[in-house]
Amino acid sequence: MTETAQAGPTVQTFLLGGGPEDDSGKIGRLLSQHDLLGAVGGDLSRLTRQGHEAAAEGLASATTGLLDIDVGDVLVYGWRTHEQLIAAARRTARVAGRQEVVQLGSHQISSTLRPTIDLRPGRPADRAQGRQLHADLHAYPAASARRRRAH
């Protein structure tokens, strides 16, 4: 007999509920209701309607992916991090001037882009393919605990 591991509820399900509408659509509707892209301003405020819709769709899709994490994993990680922070606080409280850093999390964002340009010199579009771009961003938020030196 083989057992199939079932995934637990996700943050996405917890925040958005489980309904017939897809979660990316729900997030897109919320972004639109609060005009998040318009509030950002800058270059985003000068987008065409189609550009604005594409940016909103991309943001909704990316946000949906970020929320697709297991609630249980988040709770367990939070509990363990809490224990590490308490232990670091106790160690720094015993020794004046001691400093400790506790990593609160880590996140990696990867993106691969293949930009294209449609050239239209009076005829149907020709497509010019650019070079492939790949970017990785690693983030490691941390907390620091330090006891002040005794006077």
Is 3 within the bounds of a domain?
Answer: no
- The one-character DSSP state at 103 is E
Q: Look at residues 22, 39, 69 and tell me which one is the last residue of a structural domain.
A: 69
Whether residue 54 is found in the same domain as residue 116: no
Residue 145 is part of which domain span?
70-151
The C-alpha R_g of the chain, in whole angstroms, comes to 23
State whether 82 and 102 are in the same domain.
Answer: yes
- Digit-by-digit pLDDT tens for the chain (151 residues) are 444 455 678 888 888 887 656 788 888 888 888 877 777 777 777 778 787 788 888 888 888 888 888 888 888 988 998 999 899 888 888 887 888 888 887 777 777 766 666 666 666 555 555 666 667 777 777 776 665 555 5
Identity (one letter) of the amino acid at 66?
Answer: L
Q: Using the 3D structure, point to which of 36, 53, 69 is the last residue of a domain.
A: 69
Kindly state whether residues 65 and 91 are assigned to the same domain: no
